Structure 1
Amino acid sequence: MHSQVDVAVMIGSGVPPSLQALGKRVCWVVLVNGERRGTAFASRAEAQECRAAWLEQLNAGSRPVVARQAG
């Protein structure tokens, strides 16, 4: 199965209270197949790092296992 992993921006009231308390009015989240995964990030770069980790994990799970011959 192919999974879609995206980074979405949240603005205003969509920003979690913990980030709003720090003066943040925008945050980024990672979506896997349209569902939010993990925490909200204060920077897009952090969210992109998380996205890359999700893609690596999902791709690792879809690779076929190659059996080695004894010899």
Structure 2
Amino acid sequence: MQCRVDVAAVIGSAVPAGLRARGQRVCWVVLLNGEPRGAAFASRDEAEECRAAWLAQLNAGLEGHLH
């Protein structure tokens, strides 16, 4: 089974209240097969780091199934 991991931008009222209270008008979320995973990130770099961690974890799981 192949999983897709993406980063999506969230804007306006869809930004969580805590981030909006700090002045954030945009945030980023990690999507696994189109479903949000984890918290919203204040920067795209943070979201990309999380995406990389998801990919590493998924790849490690795949390698475990191949051996």
Q: Which bracket does the TM-score occupy, shorter chain normalised?
A: over 0.9
User: Hey, what's the Cα distance between the residues in 1 that align with 2:13 and 2:20?
Assistant: 9
Equivalent positions of 1:32-47 (< 5 A) are 32-47=32-47
TM value normalised by structure 2: 0.95
What corresponds to 1:9 in structure 2? 9
User: Hey, what's the Cα distance between the residues in 2 that align with 1:13 and 1:37?
Assistant: 19
Select the structure that is richer in helix.
2
What corresponds to 1:52 in structure 2? 52
- RMSD of the TM alignment (CA)? 0.5
1:30-54, Cα deviation, whole Å (9 max, x unpaired): 0000000000000000000000000
Query: How many percent identity over aligned positions?
Result: 68
Greater C-alpha radius of gyration: 1
